[in-house]
Amino acid sequence: MAGVYCGQNFPAMLTGDKSLKKRPMSRITVPLTRMGANIRAVAGEYPPLRIKPGEIKSINYNSPIASAQVKSSVMLAGLYATGATTVTEPYKSRDHTERMFKYFGIPVEVVKNTIKVEGGRNWPGKHITVPGDFSSAAFFITAALLFKDNRLVIKNVNLNPTRTGFINIVKRMNGNIKILNKKDSCNEPVGDILIKGSNLKAATIDKSEIPSVIDEVPLIALLASRADGKTIIDGVSELRKKETDRLHAIATQLQKLGQSVEEQSDSLIITGLRGPIKGGKVTSFKDHRIAMMLSVAGLIARGKVIIDDVNCVNTSFPEFYDILKEVTENE
C-alpha cells in the first residue's frame, strides 16, 4: 500500500496494530525514496509511515532480501512512473503481485529473479475471487500430519508454487499429502489438499527454500520435533525481524515443551523424538504465528499447554480457534 500511496496527489499516513509497528520499514522506504517518493517513518524506521505527494520515477532496484512485500511496493509505485521499473531479488519470493498484474493486463516481464513493469498508464478493474490462504491452511496440515490414522481435506486453497514450498518439505519428511481438483482462478492455481497422519523423518531445508516457506518455519520446526532424526533449517535470520524475534521464540517455547531445539544466528537445529511434547506454560510473544503453532503443539501434548496471549491470532486468522475446535471434534 505504501507503493500505491506514493503515487497519489494527496497526503496519507499508514499505521497498524502493535505487531505491525514492530516491523522495520527502511526496506521499503529506501527504494521508494530513490523513486522520488516523499515518505518517512515517524518512529525511526518503524510505522506509522507519513507519505506526501511526490513525482515518481522508474528505477532498477537490487533488493538485498527476497521479500514479496519489498518487491510489491516497488512494483506498485512503478505503475505511477514513466518508463520501466525493475526489481531483482537474490531468490524468488512470492509472486502474487506479478500474477495480479498479468490478470489485469498490466505488462510485466519476469526473467529469473528480475521483474520488470511498465508505468504511466491507467488500467481497468476486474472481478477477483480470493481463494483460501495457504499459510493459514498450513496449521491444519500440520495438525493432520501429527495424528496417526487421521484424514483431513482442506478445500479451495491457493496453491501458488511460490507459497507451497511447505508441501515439498512435508513430502521430503515422508508426509502423506496430495493435491486434488486443481484449477486456475484469476491467474492463481487453486485446489484441495488431502492430508493423512504420517510417520515423519528429518530433512535439511536450504536457505534458497526459505522465501517460499517464511511463514511456515514455526510449523516445520514443530513437525521436525516429531520426526526421526536431526532437521536443519538454514537461512532464517529474516525471522528475527517479524512481529517478534520469531527464531528465538520458536526455539525457547518448544524447549519449554520438552523438545530439542538449538537456535543459531541464522538457523535452527531440531533433533526429533527426544521425548513427547509435554504440557507447560509458554508465551506467544504477541506473535500470531507463534501462538497458532503452540496451539497445534498443544493438541498432541501430554498435559495442558497454556499460552499466555492468543488475542494476537486475530491479526491474521480470527476464526482459527473455532475451526480448530470443529476439526478436532470431528476426529
| Summary count for the chain: helices (H), strands (E) | 10, 16
CA distance 277 to 256: 9
**Distances 152 to 161, 183, 187, 189 between C-alpha atoms, Å:** 21, 20, 27, 20
CA distance 178 to 141: 11
Query: Grid coordinates in use for 220?
Result: 516445520
Please give the torsion angle defined by the CA atoms of residues 256, 258, 262 and 266, in that order, rounded to the nearest 10 degrees.
Answer: -60
The residue whose grid cell reads 538485498 is 64
Q: Are 294 and 307 in contact (CB under 8 A)?
A: yes
Q: Are 14 and 47 in contact (CB under 8 A)?
A: yes
Task: Evaluate the CA torsion angle 189, 89, 236, 171 in order and state its sign.
Answer: positive
Query: Does the annotation count 266 as an active-site position?
Result: no
- Amino acid (1-letter code) at residue 205: I
**Distances 226 to 10, 144, 254, 282 between C-alpha atoms, Å:** 53, 13, 11, 19
Annotated active-site residue in 149, 184, 192, 215 = 215
Q: Are 324 and 297 in contact (CB under 8 A)?
A: no
**Distances 170 to 72, 177, 297 between C-alpha atoms, Å:** 28, 8, 17
Burial of residue 224 (number of CB atoms within 10 Å: 0-12, 13-18, 19+): buried
Annotated catalytic sites, by residue? Answer: 215
